[in-house]
Chain A
Amino acid sequence: MTDILQLLIYGLVLGSVLTMGAIGVSMIFGILRFAHFAHGDFMTLGAYLGLSFISAFGLSSWWALPAAMVGMAVIAVFIDQVLYRRIRRTQPVILLIASFGMALILRSLVQLIWGSDNQTYTSGIQFPWQLDWLGGMRLKPDHLWIMLISLGLVAGVHLFLTRTRLGKAMRAMSDNMDLALISGIPAERVIMVTWVIGGALAGAAGVFLGIDTRLHPVMGWTTLLPVFAAAILGGIGRPYGAIAGGMIIGVSMEMSTLLIPAAYKPAVAFAIMVGMLILRPQGIFKGTV
């Protein structure tokens, strides 16, 4: 029982990371109609930007978070303006190829700048709290923070999408691009904000991943598949679905280690995704097929 609870916690932590990535993937798909394959490497780059920031100023590991979020928001907009914007008028699949290429460019940049070795934010080991009232389950403070901050960010995205003019315009564009243009909604500005949010959340996901485990140039790429699985499960183009999708995939991946070797964790995400594609491709919350 304690084992299961323990895995549930790990699952929710992983789920938080996946949710941060999947919201961005889902929003970008909703507005720009393509699956953004560089999103995993956005996470990686964010994690490393955070690392450089804290080591340059000698700050504690959590300072990596705002640095990564701001940095990735800027970089995402920059990449969109320099590359994606130029090919937006052609078919969306060309954007798919371009983003796949961008994934490799970012990864090799990370390798060039920071090297290929594993790195960590802090060298010490964090001692978990032993929760005797929960059967002696252990909870690391970092894990608690990851879950709480994710919750806060999700709430922030929710408020933005439902309470602000720009957020509503983003949902409107995702719903019906032509009508949005007819209504005079400035598409380019909405697209830019989409990248700001998508980039910032990817940066957060990267830092969470780095705090939970370690930093490595392929950390994001290997997380991309579960992130897509979460987005598809929640209904692609539906940011709220991404939250449910992220949690289900995260928890399933951790729970699966009770039954199968841990090396096959990504396979669990993949299996759920394939099952979803066969049974209900529009996702739990009916996204855009």
Chain B
Amino acid sequence: MSSLLEAKGLYGGYGGADILQGTNLRVEADEIVVIVGPNGAGKSTAMKAVFGLLRIREGEVRYRNETITNAKPEQMVRRGIAYVPQEKNVFPSLTVRENLEMGAYLMKGDLSQRLDKVYTLFPKLAERRRQQAGLMSGGERQMVAMGRALMIDPQLLMLDEPTAGLSPLLIDETFERIQEINAQGIGVLMVEQNAKQALAIANRGYVLATGSNRHEDTGPNLLANPEVAEMFLGG
């Protein structure tokens, strides 16, 4: 049985010097995998590279044993990989419902089942379906963003700092939702600043520094690792 996602020895960046220096990542189906690390470690860059948003100069990305290195975002979506960027992750002038519809742009047929599924997970979005996404609070927008990504019924959900800028209460709620999504059999790969909480719900975690893997272990083991704790988790 092959991994859901496997990235090996990635090198690449935004045209200039490589930011990724041989990054490795692996996500098994139904796992939650968290990438943590200091600022500028290349965490978001690694996510973007995997999703084909920036050019991988060297290395390989495989999804269900199929090479998808540098494939276009459209092809990622068609294969069942959804990505939620950290910022600007909604269409502000579109309504909530329209935002969700855009997530399923490539899906054929009736959307109502997909919509219902998202509304069940985020009941608030059902209430607010006619509201413009740009007028919503940060937490609500994050729900719209995740909901949009879930509209394709992904096998792999990639989240870039899903709790950035949220209040502690909302952070807890977001992590709960992520666990619920995972419980439906969706693999989750996320970058997180709230490393402790994220590693606590994670099956495995990666610690990235200067674009390469520093540590890789199960969530609890990383939390227990004194070096990791000292370096990145602030004791």
A residues apposed to B, CB below 8 Å:
165, 168-169, 171-172, 174-176, 178-186
Pair B91/A171 contact, Cβ less than 8 Å: yes
The interface size of chain B toward A, counting residues with CB under 8 Å, comes to 25
Name the CB-closest residue of A to B134: A175
Q: B47: shortest Cβ distance to chain A, in Å?
A: 11
Q: Report how far A124 CA is from B77 CA in the complex, Å.
A: 60
Pair A176/B91 contact, Cβ less than 8 Å: yes
Pair A182/B102 contact, Cβ less than 8 Å: no
Q: Report how far A168 CA is from B93 CA in the complex, Å.
A: 10
Name the CB-closest residue of B to A286: B93
Pair A172/B94 contact, Cβ less than 8 Å: yes
CB-contact partner of B85 in A169, A175, A179, under 8 A: A179
Pair B74/A168 contact, Cβ less than 8 Å: no
Any A CB within 8 A of the CB of B220: no
Q: B235: shortest Cβ distance to chain A, in Å?
A: 36
A-chain residues with CB within 8 Å of residue B103 when the two chains form the complex: 183
Pair B88/A184 contact, Cβ less than 8 Å: no
Pair A165/B90 contact, Cβ less than 8 Å: no
Top 8 A-B pairs, shortest CB-CB distance: A184-B77, A175-B91, A184-B106, A184-B74, A172-B91, A172-B102, A185-B105, A183-B102
Q: B108: shortest Cβ distance to chain A, in Å?
A: 11
> Given the interface contacts A179-B90, A182-B83, A183-B148, does A169 sit within 8 Å of B102 by beta carbon?
yes
B-chain residues with CB within 8 Å of residue A165 when the two chains form the complex: 101, 105
> Which residue, A165, A171, A182, has most C-beta atoms of chain B within 10 A?
A182
B-chain residues with CB within 8 Å of residue A169 when the two chains form the complex: 102, 105
Any A CB within 8 A of the CB of B206: no
What is the predominant secondary structure among interface residues of chain A facing chain B? Answer: helix
CB-contact partner of B92 in A176, A181, A182, under 8 A: A176
A-chain residues with CB within 8 Å of residue B88 when the two chains form the complex: 176, 178-179
Q: B55: shortest Cβ distance to chain A, in Å?
A: 14
Pair B102/A181 contact, Cβ less than 8 Å: no
Pair A185/B85 contact, Cβ less than 8 Å: no
CB-contact partner of A176 in B53, B78, B90, under 8 A: B90
Any A CB within 8 A of the CB of B89: yes
Give the number of A-B contacts (CB < 8 Å). Answer: 59
Q: Report how far A174 CA is from B102 CA in the complex, Å.
A: 13
Using an 8 Å CB-CB cutoff, how does the interface string of B68-106 with A read, 1 for contact, 0 for none?
000001101110000101001111111000110111011
Any A CB within 8 A of the CB of B51: yes
Q: Report how far A172 CA is from B94 CA in the complex, Å.
A: 7
CB-contact partner of B93 in A175, A180, A182, A183, under 8 A: A175
B-chain residues with CB within 8 Å of residue A179 when the two chains form the complex: 85, 88-91
Q: A60: shortest Cβ distance to chain B, in Å?
A: 41
* 6 contacting pairs across A/B (C-beta < 8 A): A165-B105, A169-B102, A171-B98, A172-B99, A176-B88, A176-B92
Name the CB-closest residue of A to B48: A182
Q: Report how far A178 CA is from B52 CA in the complex, Å.
A: 12
A-chain residues with CB within 8 Å of residue B152 when the two chains form the complex: 184
Pair A171/B93 contact, Cβ less than 8 Å: yes
Q: Report how far A176 CA is from B88 CA in the complex, Å.
A: 7
Q: Report how far A185 CA is from B152 CA in the complex, Å.
A: 13
A-chain residues with CB within 8 Å of residue B98 when the two chains form the complex: 168, 171-172
A-chain residues with CB within 8 Å of residue B99 when the two chains form the complex: 172
CB-contact partner of B78 in A168, A174, A181, A184, under 8 A: A184
A169-B102, A179-B85 given; 16 more Cβ-contact pairs under 8 Å: A168-B94, A168-B102, A171-B91, A171-B94, A171-B98, A172-B94, A176-B90, A178-B85, A180-B102, A182-B83, A182-B85, A183-B102, A183-B148, A184-B74, A184-B106, A185-B105
Pair B94/A183 contact, Cβ less than 8 Å: no
Pair B92/A175 contact, Cβ less than 8 Å: yes
Q: Report how far A233 CA is from B194 CA in the complex, Å.
A: 45
Q: Report how far A88 CA is from B30 CA in the complex, Å.
A: 41
A-chain residues with CB within 8 Å of residue B89 when the two chains form the complex: 179
CB-contact partner of B74 in A175, A178, A186, under 8 A: A186
Q: A167: shortest Cβ distance to chain B, in Å?
A: 10
> Given the interface contacts A171-B91, A175-B93, A176-B90, does A182 sit within 8 Å of B101 by beta carbon?
no
Q: B167: shortest Cβ distance to chain A, in Å?
A: 24
Q: Report how far A179 CA is from B78 CA in the complex, Å.
A: 16
CB-contact partner of B51 in A180, A182, A186, under 8 A: A182
Q: B60: shortest Cβ distance to chain A, in Å?
A: 22
CB-contact partner of B105 in A171, A174, A184, under 8 A: A184
B-chain residues with CB within 8 Å of residue A186 when the two chains form the complex: 74
B-chain residues with CB within 8 Å of residue A168 when the two chains form the complex: 94, 98, 101-102
